[in-house]
A and B are shown apart, each in its own frame.
Chain A
Amino acid sequence: MTSLPATTGKKLGLVIDLDICVGCQACATSCKEWNGQGVSAPLSDDNARGPQPMGTWLNRIHGYEVQEEGRDDSRIVHFPRSCLHCETPACVTVCPTGASYKRAEDGIVLVNPETCIGCKLCSWACPYGAREYDYASGVMKKCTLCVDRIYNENFVPEDRVPACVKACPTGARSFGDLGDPNSDVSTLVAERGGYDLFPEMGYKPTNKYLPPRPRRDKAIAGIEPLPAQDGSALDRLFAWADKLMTSSRATASVNPADVSDRLEG
């Protein structure tokens, strides 16, 4: 049924910390590995080892260069992007067959591969590019939040998390109930100012992104500032050595910012 549930018992989702993601692609590859065998199988590749490989992925990691205001330098932000399991997703309501649905119990958005006709309209309705069509099986694929792991009683409890969360070596991905204000993920979102992607679309994504923390150093990047002179014996020793070694002829300055006329301590 493509009409949305009025409320969902839980709001299961991911919190992605852009501050500590290193862009290693472990989440993407573990996602591909797990979902290529589980309920999402096949997650097919076409010409995987040829010159023009193309395949279905449920999680992709972009890299963005961000120049912060008032700074000359920029920073790289690794940006994993997958289904956000929106509260009011248009991808579900546009589905003509009822293959796309949002679960009332936990809010997970799924596609039934048995009834999907492969019209691709849901992928048009998603602003996040979260749905990818599988050309080999002729149906739409998307993140299932590893629904076949998180409730799997054959797993020890610490493994009952999505494959991407389990794989992340830096702990940049957290999984939990974002509908519960006291859950770990909700606390994390509150503490770090977690935000929605494309809020103006109005689809109320469940997944949240934690912004990169502000840079700690305020100086121009690339030049190590010199420590202040304190007049100690060591300071005077370096000044003496510097003077001794400085030729009377001008020498090329190694560090253009070094106008202290002394060796760096």
Chain B
Amino acid sequence: MNPAYSVILFTTSSGAGYGLLALLGLVGVQHGQASSLAFALVALFIALALITVGLLSSTFHLGHPERAWRAFSQWRSSWLSREGVAAVVTYPVALAFGLVWSGLVDWPSLIGPLGWATAIMSGVTVFCTGKIYSSLKTIPQWHHGLTVPVYLVFGLATGAALLAPIATLFGRFQWFQIVLAVVALVAVLILKFAYWHSIDNAPRKHSMAAATGLGPGVRQWEVPHTNINFIQKEMGYAVARRHAQKLRRLVFLLLAMAIVFAVLAALLSPWLSFGLAVAALAAAVIERWLFFAEAVHVVNLYYGLANA
């Protein structure tokens, strides 16, 4: 699949934003009102800004961005629509939580419920994002049991990788932030390893024979066009697969670096948590690019691919 930059930016940026937002909600549940108004406002602003940048960038690849509001209507059948609805519902919940958590509105008994609601809605939104991809039977690498868990855990890991440096800025650095980041990053490592192992070894269930019904002796003889068409441009992307192994190792390296930065931040100086954030976000971007580039759509079976 063609890795559209707008979609990569959307899923990584909003994933990190929702991860951070969910953690802020849980911090509120655990500790009650924020001890620093500035920390609360800046952290919430960063989370919501990442989400908003992501959502806006996802509209860049639309043919008609001005009609994007229509996408909230088909939540009964469409995961894309559900994601849109969940994203819109999360905003007022997060803002209400921000008001009571930061102390701008003095209503401490609401911090717990609204913190939970914010965390749950963040999770639901990222879950819907993952389901958009995992529900597509046409792309075996996405129609996979680990697609949704990877989206959720990557969101949490990048969110945790942001929480520690933001807390450091306001002198609110704490051990649990590092523990959280390390646990989430290790979970990402394990899930991605399992995912890549699984897609590399999965049997190719679809064939040109089934696509055409012409039996096992079929091969492409003539293409139905004089130049590349939309289908191949959008779904025939193959450039990246050449470098897939190197890029996978780079993702693992960046994740390992993020973990090292996290441990060093706890041991030496909290300011090293900025390294944690940079490495984790870089890993997320490359992983997401590979997620698209390594996905092989079954329509390629009509265009010369033997198995998918």
Q: State the A residues within 8 Å of B (CB).
A: 1-4, 18, 23, 28, 52-57, 60-69, 74, 76-77, 79, 81, 90, 92-99, 115-121, 123-129, 132-133, 135, 137-139, 195-202, 209, 211-212
CB distance from B84 to the nearest CB of A (A): 6
Q: Which of B67, B132, B216, B220 contacts A64 (CB 8 A)?
A: B220
Contact A68 B215 (CB under 8 A): yes
Contact B297 A124 (CB under 8 A): yes
CB distance from A143 to the nearest CB of B (A): 14
CA distance in complex: A182, B3 (Å): 48
Contact A66 B234 (CB under 8 A): no
Report A-chain residues with C-beta under 8 Å of the C-beta of B84: 96
CA distance in complex: A86, B138 (Å): 15
Report A-chain residues with C-beta under 8 Å of the C-beta of B137: 90, 127, 201-202
Closest partner residue, chain A, to B226 (CB atom): A53
Interface 1/0s, chain B 280-295, versus A by CB < 8 A? 0000000000000000
Q: State the B residues within 8 Å of A (CB).
A: 1, 61-65, 67-68, 70-74, 76-81, 84, 132, 135-139, 205-206, 208, 210-231, 234-235, 297-299, 302-303
Once A63-B222, A118-B62 are accepted as A-B contacts, the answer to whether A3 and B77 lie under 8 Å apart by CB is: yes
The interface centre, meaning the residue of A66, A121, A138, A201 with most chain B CB atoms within 10 A of its CB, is A66
Report B-chain residues with C-beta under 8 Å of the C-beta of A132: 229-231
Contact B74 A2 (CB under 8 A): yes
Contact A64 B78 (CB under 8 A): no
Report A-chain residues with C-beta under 8 Å of the C-beta of B222: 23, 62-63
Contact A117 B63 (CB under 8 A): yes
Q: Is the interface of A mostly helix, strand, loop or mixed?
A: loop
Contact B220 A93 (CB under 8 A): no
Can you list 11 A-B contacts (CB < 8 A)?
A2-B74, A64-B208, A66-B218, A67-B219, A94-B79, A96-B81, A97-B73, A98-B70, A98-B74, A117-B62, A117-B65
CB distance from B139 to the nearest CB of A (A): 7
Known interface pairs A2-B76, A4-B77, A119-B80; 5 further A-B residue pairs with C-beta atoms within 8 A, sorted by A's residue number: A3-B76, A64-B208, A66-B214, A67-B218, A68-B217
CA distance in complex: A65, B298 (Å): 19
A-B interface, 4 closest residue pairs, ranked by CB to CB distance from nearest: A118-B63, A138-B63, A63-B222, A67-B217
CA distance in complex: A65, B216 (Å): 11
CA distance in complex: A115, B62 (Å): 12
CA distance in complex: A96, B302 (Å): 27
CB distance from A221 to the nearest CB of B (A): 15
Once A197-B211, A198-B206 are accepted as A-B contacts, the answer to whether A62 and B302 lie under 8 Å apart by CB is: yes
Contact B211 A125 (CB under 8 A): no
Closest partner residue, chain A, to B213 (CB atom): A195
Closest partner residue, chain A, to B84 (CB atom): A96
Report A-chain residues with C-beta under 8 Å of the C-beta of B67: 97, 115-117
CA distance in complex: A235, B48 (Å): 96
Contact B136 A64 (CB under 8 A): no
